[in-house]
Structure 1
Amino acid sequence: EETESKDGMKYAKMIGSIVNLVRYTLNMKLDQENIHYSRFITHVKFFVERFYADKLLANQENELFEQIANLYPQAMDVAFKIKDYIKQVHGNVIPNDELTYLAVHIHRLISYQQLK
């Protein structure tokens, strides 16, 4: 029971840090009612679970990574900031496949905010 609440706090802390990093880097108020925001949060939760379970996606989609980096440079830039943050705090390197998916979700957030 105690480890569960410790894990919960650990997860929540990392999720919060990632969301704050995105918010500050993009310098935008994230609309929490928005479907893209909910999907982003869901993705980040799963990412954090994979991170702590040591089951991060392996580097297999390099072509996709390159494409997303070219298509969404701003979103990929934010994904790299998340990568740097995790490297600094936890010492783990986030694989490119994970960065690709983070960037896609971040891009959707950016696109949605720009429509408003």
Structure 2
Amino acid sequence: MEIIRVLNNNAVLTIDDNGEDIVVLGSGVAFQKKRGDVIDSSKIERIFYQDDHDIIGKLKQSFLEIPVEFIEMSKEIIADAKLELGKEFNDNLYISLPDHLQFTVRRYHEGLLIQNKLVLETKRMYKKEFAFSRKKLKVINERFNVELPEDEAATIVMHLINAELNSNMHETMQMIEMVQKILSIIKSEMAIEFDEDSLDYYRLVTHLKFFYQRLFGSEAEESRSKDRHLLGLVKDRYKKSFKCAKKVKKYIEKFSDTSISDDDLLYLTIHIERVKTG
């Protein structure tokens, strides 16, 4: 492949076999290179194709405008997150994360850092991701000679979750807020303290996250219980948990302006019972 345009030392624009623009990413892939030079395939780390018609244009603009050190830092975070967290991320993370890092460092020097109000909630819901992001925050602080607070680790987690779920920052914050409110309702109604390291707590939080995705995501669908007999059994056997689930149902329907199916009520009751007795 020949270089069509050098975007920075680590990114070039070229074309694929179909004549479509693609962006090639790799450390030093464009160092001392110019238009017409052949790309060293051994330095290619990532290729962005035209599957998303907006992605190539956004990448070109991003790599031309954002200083390379923020792009490199972001690339490192994404690569390590894939390995350590076992996640796959939407390509837009290669745009949103360096843009965010550049903006945050600039705000730091201007004394205009914005507080992330969901630090504690993010830390509770995404323990593994938060621990990873906190490690990366130390690297960011050292590399850019700043002292960004723990809030920034939470924001990095949100960017990772956005890219994993193909959502946006508003949706991720909305999900965290909804899940934390539901957990507060359960904690209050059931008069319990959660063991946040327990498997049952992990299952409950995971269920609520996926429930949010179904409720608001593209996969949202109308669902009605196919087994009302089972719901009746659960209602009779787990009276307190069912009553709590009904309160959660009321909150969700008010929060989302949508109805909750008997299937969702059934599974929510079971998860509440498990975390109560776990």
Task: Give the structure-1-normalised TM-score.
Answer: 0.87
Residue identity in the other structure for 1:88:
K
Q: Distance in 1 between matches of 2:221 and 2:176?
A: 18
Partner SS, residue 110 of structure 1: helix
Question: How has the CA–CA distance of structure 1 residues 78 and 9 changed in structure 2, closer, same or farther, with 3 Å as cutoff?
Answer: same
Which structure has greater helix proportion? Answer: 1
Q: What is the root-mean-square deviation of aligned Cα atoms in Å?
A: 1.7
Determine which of 160, 171, 175 is the counterpart of 1:7: 171
Counterpart check, 1:21 vs 2:173: no
The number of residues matched between the two structures is 112
Deviates more, 1:72-81 or 1:45-54: 45-54
Determine which of 256, 262, 277 is the counterpart of 1:96: 262
Counterpart check, 1:48 vs 2:212: yes
CA contact (8 A) 1:59 1:97 kept: yes
> 1:10, CA displacement in angstroms?
1.2
Which residues of 2 match residues 69-108 of structure 1 at below 5 A?
Answer: 69-108=235-274
> 1:110, CA displacement in angstroms?
1.1
Identity %, equivalent residues: 24
Counterpart check, 1:57 vs 2:57: no
> 1:91, CA displacement in angstroms?
2.3
Q: Which runs of 4+ in 1 moved over 4 A?
A: none
Residue identity in the other structure for 2:203:
R
Q: Distance in 1 between matches of 2:226 and 2:255?
A: 25
Q: Distance in 1 between matches of 2:175 and 2:221?
A: 15
> 1:89, CA displacement in angstroms?
2.7
Residue identity in the other structure for 1:8:
T
Q: Which has the higher contact order (CA 8 A, sep 6+)?
A: 1
Counterpart check, 1:37 vs 2:206: no
| Unaligned residue ranges in structure 2 (runs of 5+) | 1-95, 97-161
Residue identity in the other structure for 2:197:
E
Which structure has greater strand proportion? Answer: 2
| Unaligned residue ranges in structure 1 (runs of 5+) | none
Q: Distance in 1 between matches of 2:193 and 2:252?
A: 23
Q: Distance in 1 between matches of 2:246 and 2:183?
A: 14
Residue identity in the other structure for 1:73:
K
